[in-house]
Amino acid sequence: MIYNSFDNPGLVKVLTFLQTHNTEYLSGQDLSDVLRISRVAVWKHIKKIQELGYTVESKQKLGYKLISNSELLLPWEITSNLKTKKIGQQAYYFDSIDSTQNQALKMAEDPANEGAVIIAARQTGGRGRSGRKWVSPKGGIWISIILQPEFDISITTLFPIASALALSLAIEKTFLIKPELKWPNDLTIKGKKLAGMLVDVSLESNKIENLVLGVGINFDVNVKQIEKSLKGTPNFYGVASLSEQNQKVKPIQLVQTFLLELEKIYKSLSAKQTKKIISEWTQRSSTIGKNVELNTVDGKIKGKAVKVDEDGALIVSDNNKTHKIIAGDIVH
C-alpha cells in the first residue's frame, strides 16, 4: 500500500475532525453534515482509519470517538503541524518497498518533488554505505529525503556529517539522551549503531542536480534479530535501538523534530557556515581525540583521529605522517 499527503482528502478530513474532537462521541450523521460527505463515505473512511492503526471507538446511539493515534508514519501525520518550510511538506508512505532510497532517486528527477520524504514501514532491499545491506524490519524508521541543494559541490562531502548532527540534535530534544557521533556518519549508543546516513548525489556539469539523503534509525527494532542477520558483515559493530532508552517517545515526534533540525542545518550549509557544524559535530563525536584503526580503500590505517576538516574528511596522524581519509570505516 502507498499513501501520500494529498491523495486521501476525505479520509484526512474525517480523521482531523476526530482528532480535534477527541473528547466526545460524534455521530455518523453529524460527521456527514459537518464534513459534507455521505454517511456511507464516513463509514468507509472510519473503517480505513481503524485499519491504519488508529483506535476509534464506535458506540451505538453515541457514534465515534478517537481513542489513540496510529504508530505508523503516515504522510498526513508527517505534514500535520510540521514546522519546516520545504523539507517534509510532501510525504509518501509505503507498507513495504525494496528501498526508499531507490524510490526517492526515481522521484528526484522531477523538480516538483523537492523536499519530499519517502518513508517505509519495512524495506526488503535496504541499502547501507559501501554497498552493504541495511536490515530494515518493521519498527525502524526508514526514510529518504529529496533535496536540490543550492550549496556548492565542495560541501557535498560534509552533508552526511551535518545530517548525522541534525539527527543527534533531534534525538537529544525528544529522547533527552545524547547519542555519540562516529565518523563518518553513524550515530551510536554505548558504541553500538543506532542510525546511519546514506547520500546519493546526481551531478550535472559540476553542479548538484539533486541529492537524496537516506536515514535509517533503529527506533524500536529487535536488536538480537538484526545482529544475527548482520553477523560476519565487514565492519559490523553491534546494534542499538532507541526503544531501549525510552518507550514514551513516538516515532512521529522524532521524525518531525529531525526534519526541522535538518532544514536548519541545510540552511547553514547553504550559507557556508561550515565551521559551526564541524565544531558541533566534534563536540558530540566519539571519534576525535581517540586512537583509531580504519579500513580504507588504501588498506588499514592506524593513528590518532585529530579532526574533521572542512570537507568532512577525517585527519589521522601517526608518528610519521598525517593521513586525510575521505572514505572508510572505523574498526576500533
Footprint on this chain of ligand BTN (rule: CB under 6 A)? 99-101, 123, 126-129, 132, 134, 136, 142-144, 186, 196-198, 214-216
| Closest listed residue to residue 140, CA positions, set 68, 243, 53 | 243
Unique residue bearing C-alpha cell 519530499: 116
Distance CA 195, CA 215 (A): 7
Which residue, 100 or 241, has its beta carbon nearer to ligand BTN? 100
The answer to whether the Cα torsion of 250, 256, 261, 262 is positive or negative is positive
- Tell me the angle at which helices 9-20 and 28-35 cross, rounded to the nearest 10 degrees: 120
Residue 17 vs 159, nearer CB to ligand BTN:
159
Nearest distance from C-beta of residue 206 to ligand BTN, angstroms? 26
- Measured from the CB atom, the residue of 128 and 179 that comes closer to ligand BTN is 128
Cα→Cα distances 202→90, 107, 147, 315, Å: 21, 13, 11, 27
What are the residue ranges of helices labelled H in 37-184? 39-51, 75-79, 100-107, 159-175
Q: In 177-215, which positions are buried (b, 16+ CB within 10 angstroms) versus exposed (e)?
A: eebbbbbbbbbbbeebbbbbbbbbbeeeeeebebbbbbb
Q: Find the shortest distance in angstroms from Cβ 101 to ligand BTN.
A: 4
Q: Which is nearer to ligand BTN, 214 or 251 (CB)?
A: 214
Shortest distance in whole angstroms from residue 216 CB to ligand BTN:
3
Nearer to ligand BTN, 8 or 100 (CB): 100
Quote the least distance from Cβ 247 to ligand BTN, whole Å. 22
Of 69 and 168, the one with the shorter C-beta distance to ligand BTN is 168
- Nearer residue to ligand BTN within complex by CB, 63 or 126: 126
Q: Cβ of 42: how many Cβ atoms within 10 Å?
A: 26
By CB atoms closer than 10 A (0-12, 13-18, 19+), residue 123 is buried
Closest separation between CB of residue 59 and ligand BTN, Å?
41
Radius of gyration, alpha carbons of the chain: 22
CA atoms within 13 A of residue 44's CA, in its CB half-sphere:
8
The alpha carbon of 102 is separated from its chain's Cα centroid by a whole number of angstroms, namely 15
CB atoms within 10 A of CB 175: 18
Q: Where are the beta strands (DSSP E) in 135-206?
A: 141-147, 180-182, 186-189, 192-204
CB of 9 to ligand BTN, least distance (A): 28
**113/123 with CB nearer ligand BTN:** 123
Q: How far is the CB of 140 from ligand BTN (least distance, A)?
A: 8
- Euclidean distance between CA atoms 94 and 25, whole angstroms: 31
Nearer to ligand BTN, 55 or 225 (CB): 225
Q: From the CB of 185, what's the least distance to ligand BTN, in Å?
A: 7
Q: Which residue is nearest to ligand BTN (CB)?
A: 196
Min dist. Cβ of residue 62 to ligand BTN (A): 43
